[in-house]
Structure 1
């Protein structure tokens, strides 16, 4: 069957019916891809039909399948034909690029190639343009963007610098330089360019998004968060902005918010048909979710107590004694005091009967004798410690909440409140 199809194809070539011959040879080689004699005539047909790449592939396959059957002269002839075809490809691409150079659609096509992720093809076309017109500033700018995408930082920097030398006031080039700077880790330089561009009309959501990237590179997560939030406020369908803010939220410890942002990014990418990005965002959300749930559970146990005022810089909070018949007093939260100290007035109100004494140091460096007594409980809101021995200071006007209470909790003193974290 292969031999019959082969002879049929040769007759079709002789009569000039190249399209029919190509179909016959395609059918033959699909059924029997190792039928070596069919590759050379198909290469010849493809070359005549301007399919130069296909012709080269067929000539190479013919030599691969017949390494010893061909004479030296035949192999040299095929190699020569391959070189001619490669030159024809270069000439065709050069003509195509020349047409592009005279067409206003060229740069739009290049941008579309980049948007589709066809960076190698875009780079190849731009290389040809710049061979013929080395000072074409817009081509340099576009090639800088492509080099940045392909992780060729030195080439990207060189191209955008040259473009700006040619047109120093071009705002599009300034924006491209910001993107290139981000690609090479120059967050400060990118921020400077993007901040400058914000004074002009343009896509401010895009500018905020990429300036956020710059701040994130510098580790300034608060400013990055603000810029990403501004970008989202201007365009709430930008999946990249949500995913970027999620990473900042994670760095800031806002894990629930990070999960929500990753989930929103995933939903937007799914709507846009970007399955790979959708899956990556979902995976990130799943990774963080257990940590977010654990943090939420831990935070629900935190006791937050408002600071009523400060006395000499020391916070004063309300303290409840003896929950059965509670009495409430304002006390200094003194992390340096080893035990809780109450005033004589407080002791009288609590009806404490002294059960011993101790010697202790006071603020002026001297030592005094304190009576000791017991209270059933000491509480700050729901933070409670039972059966505490307290010292009674007859000449003090302020009570001190000491380490015999505070040591039961991890205490965090903030500007307006005190957090008690259960151990």
Structure 2
């Protein structure tokens, strides 16, 4: 009962003049492959960008996201950690590393990274949503509800956060609240919510 979200960063931070055209082409191609779900192809293109610009933080972060989608969580964490070492204020890298740690069931490590992400960008709804997943993994149901609620306050149509909030509410004995959240998630297009509505909200 979880929805995981890592978002690719489409913006292109400037490359040096010497390598700009080639690096930009590979970067654009990598993003296109990522959105086409060709994550292995995206990684290869990002590899090429990093040959020209080894400290390009956005490319390192995007490659990490692609590796995470390929379930290469440790490789992803290496990329995010390198991005953070170059730019410690890059909130996306912190949030993305948190999710890869979550995928490795390192819930406490994930929470520390999400804490840093929201410190750097207090309006990052997905970081609150994903921190809620980690809190749920630690059975901190009240903390999870608080994080999902914050995500929804930041992004009112956040279907996945409504969907995710249903589970800890149910575990806390708030069946009506859980069913209301799953109903809202379904209305926002989260198809998985239907299963929980049928199983728990008869």
**Class of the TM-score when normalised by the shorter of the 2 chains:** 0.7 to 0.9
CA, structure 1 residues 236+111, in 2 after alignment: closer, same or farther (shift >3 Å)?
farther
State whether structure 2 residue 82 is matched by structure 1 residue 170.
no
- 8 Å contact kept, 1:145–1:179: no
Deviation string for 1:190-241 (max 9, x for gaps)? Answer: 2222223333445342232122122112111110011111211222211110
Mapping of residues 23-422 of structure 1, within 5 Å: 99-102=21-24, 106=27, 110-111=30-31, 113-115=33-35, 117-269=37-189, 277-278=190-191, 280-290=192-202
The TM-score normalised by the length of structure 2 is 0.76
- Higher Cα Rg, which structure: 1
State how far apart, in whole Å, the 2-side matches of 1:258 and 1:100 are. Answer: 50
Q: Which runs of 5+ in 1 are unaligned?
A: 1-96, 270-276, 291-423
CA, structure 1 residues 249+131, in 2 after alignment: closer, same or farther (shift >3 Å)?
same
State how far apart, in whole Å, the 2-side matches of 1:224 and 1:267 are. Answer: 22
Aligned pairs, number:
184
Say which SS state the counterpart of residue 198 (structure 1) adopts: helix
- 8 Å contact kept, 1:239–1:265: yes
**Paired position in structure 2 for 1:354:** none
State how far apart, in whole Å, the 2-side matches of 1:113 and 1:259 are. Answer: 37
Question: Cα distance, 1:163 vs. partner?
Answer: 2.2
Question: Cα distance, 1:264 vs. partner?
Answer: 1.3
**Paired position in structure 2 for 1:21:** none
CA, structure 1 residues 266+110, in 2 after alignment: closer, same or farther (shift >3 Å)?
farther
State how far apart, in whole Å, the 1-side matches of 2:172 and 2:22 are. Answer: 49
State how far apart, in whole Å, the 2-side matches of 1:143 and 1:185 are. Answer: 21
Say which SS state the counterpart of residue 253 (structure 1) adopts: coil
- 8 Å contact kept, 2:27–2:49: no
Q: Decide which structure has greater strand share.
A: 1
The TM-score normalised by the length of structure 1 is 0.39
Q: Decide which structure has greater helix share.
A: 2
**Paired position in structure 1 for 2:6:** none
CA, structure 1 residues 114+243, in 2 after alignment: closer, same or farther (shift >3 Å)?
farther
C-alpha RMSD of matched pairs (Å):
2.8
Moved more, 127-136 or 184-193: 127-136
- 8 Å contact kept, 2:92–2:117: no
Higher RCO (CA < 8 A, seq sep 6+):
2
- 8 Å contact kept, 1:262–1:282: yes
Say which SS state the counterpart of residue 160 (structure 1) adopts: helix
- 8 Å contact kept, 2:23–2:52: no
State how far apart, in whole Å, the 2-side matches of 1:180 and 1:252 are. Answer: 27
Q: Which runs of 5+ in 2 are unaligned?
A: 1-18
CA, structure 1 residues 288+183, in 2 after alignment: closer, same or farther (shift >3 Å)?
same
